[in-house]
Amino acid sequence: MSKDRLPSQEDDFPAWYQAVVRDAGMAENGMAKGTMIIKPHGYAVWEFIQSALDSRFKATGHENVYFPLFIPEKLLHKEAEHVEGFSPELAVVTVGGGEVLEEPLVVRPTSETIIWNTYANWIQSYRDLPLLYNQWCNVVRWEKRSRLFLRTTEFLWQEGHTAHASRDEAWEETVRMLEVYREVSEDVLAIPVLTGRKSESERFPGAVETLPIEGLMRDKKALQCGTSHFLGQNFAKAYDVTFLNEAGEQDHPWATSWGFSTRMIGGTIMAHGDDKGLRLPPAVAPVQVVIVPIYRSDDERGGVLVAADKAKAALSGNGIRVRIDDRDQHRPGFKFSEWELKGVPIRIEIGPRDVEADQVVAVSRLDGSKQTLSSGRVIANMSKMLDDIQKGLFEDAKAFRAANTHEATDYDTLKAGIAAEGGFWVGAWCGDAACEQKVSSETSATIRVLPLEPTDPGAPCAVCGKAGVDRATWAKAY
């Protein structure tokens, strides 16, 4: 059987499933378990995500680098917590060139270890700092269970690794990159996210603080969409990285790391999809406007296609990604449905009536609304429509999140609410890991995010009733 799907969707949102399998990507049989092939439509979405992130990295002074895929096992073992965290999910190469290797090579699950091992040679003086590097690569994590896009054995991402002379500077960087992720999620992918910090149990292995952005999917489960870690001096110490500071003393640099992955192709699908299929935000839609010509005879066909070409040229000239669907083997109704399935933000219909009246019909994927536009007004209206759809998707998702965010005042409410309603449950937490553990074992929901700075919740812990010291957001998550 080869049913590769995003979670829940075949039951809850059949059209998403179809769209994903046909166009956005799917894993194939006979290959390594949990690996994924991304088809052109899905990969194009990833390219827009990449470019949105990369331009922001450059704007904040970062440069791209590349480090090796293979990490000698010994290297990995220098940071104790890090190894403990990643060991269970490592892919290890033991044979190379037909011979058993003296030392096994680990396929990177993330690159802190190999990068900090190298930084030891690159950092001597405070003048060498900061190091603001990022790499685009693939990583492998042998998860017990994979889900299309959201948790694949191999995935593509970017990982930033920075080194700083002071704690404050590193912390600022951590928060800055969290903000970059928030911006890309919200402004580009139209997914509203909560920002904050993780509880100790949810932290990245080896991190002092882990700052996530958390989105809510249409099935009311949370998705960690990106993470920025404050690593303190842990990796610098483990890899013996020192520098001479301005005061002339030896010191360890302060580190951050942050990542954003192809998981977000899935996040975009799951945050916006509806019963007709995908709804892609215009900013990442490979095709923003599809023109469907309508005709009966060859005569009509000629006139309609001329008008379609003209509209396409005008829109393309304005930087809009346009495609004409002039396939003869399908009728218009079929094409309408198919492009809706693929999530194209705007459909333009041009038929004989429109040619005659020198107009087009434009239909929004946001809500299916239709409007007739004179040919001269198409360009101005298209840009605005695309903007409106981008904002509309964000507003839809925000309204959905608001409708699915609840207050948890006591444990009964929290437990019953998570089971019955799903969504985000916000309430006071005493900060005790035992309470956190109790919730996760009894409801399978976890604390997704805490405020960046501990906030007096002004209420007793929603789990145990002791004094609350933090305001937590619980949810079931992917």
Partner RNA sequence: CGGGAAGUAGCGCAGCUUGGUAGCGCGCCACGUUCGGGACGUGGAGGCCGGGGGUUCAAGUCCCCCCUUCCCGACCA
- Rule CB under 7 A: which residues touch RNA? 1-5, 7-8, 15, 18, 27, 29, 33, 85, 88-89, 141, 143-147, 150-153, 155, 202, 204, 212, 224, 227, 259, 261-263, 276, 294-297, 329-334, 336-338, 340-341, 347, 349-354, 361, 363, 368, 444, 477-478
Conformation bin of residue 347: beta by default, left when phi > 0, alpha when psi is -120 to 50: beta
C-beta of 151 vs 161, nearer to RNA: 151
Q: How many residues in the chain? A: 478
CB of 191 to RNA, least distance (A): 14
Cβ 276 to RNA shortest distance, Å: 7
Angle at 441 between CA 440 and CA 443, to 5 degrees: 65
Please say which residue, 129 or 222, places its beta carbon nearer to RNA: 222
Residues 199-224 as b/e (b if ≥16 CB within 10 A, e otherwise) read beebbbbbbbbbbbbbbbbbbbbbbb
**Which is closer to RNA, CB of 20 or CB of 163?**
20
CB 229 within 8 A of CB 204: yes
Q: To the nearest whole angstrom, how small is the minimum distance from the Cβ of residue 69 to RNA?
A: 16
Number of neighbouring beta carbons within 10 Å of residue 120: 13
Q: How far is the CB of 27 from RNA (least distance, A)?
A: 6
**Nearer to RNA (CB atom), residue 99 or residue 298:** 298
Q: Which is nearer to RNA, 125 or 371 (CB)?
A: 371
- Give the nearest distance from C-beta 215 to RNA in angstroms: 11
Smallest gap from residue 5 Cβ to RNA (A)? 6
361 or 379: whose CB is closer to RNA?
A: 361
Q: Which is nearer to RNA, 102 or 144 (CB)?
A: 144
Q: Is 244 helix (H, G, I), strand (E, B) or coil?
A: strand
Question: 151: helix, coil or strand?
Answer: strand
Closest CA to 113 of 95, 139, 88, 151: 139
115 phi, psi to nearest 5 deg: -75, -45
CB of 227 to RNA, least distance (A): 5
| H or E stretch at 84 | helix 80-86
Which phi and psi angles does 461 have, rounded to 5°?
-50, 130
| Separation between Cα atoms, residue 45 and residue 286, nearest integer Å | 6
Write down the least CB distance from residue 18 to RNA, Å.
Answer: 7
- Distance from C-alpha of 12 to C-alpha of 418, rounded to nearest angstrom: 18
Q: Render 371-423 in DSSP notation, one character per residue.
A: EEEEGGGHHHHHHHHHHHHHHHHHHHHHHHHHHTEEE--SHHHHHHHHHHT-S
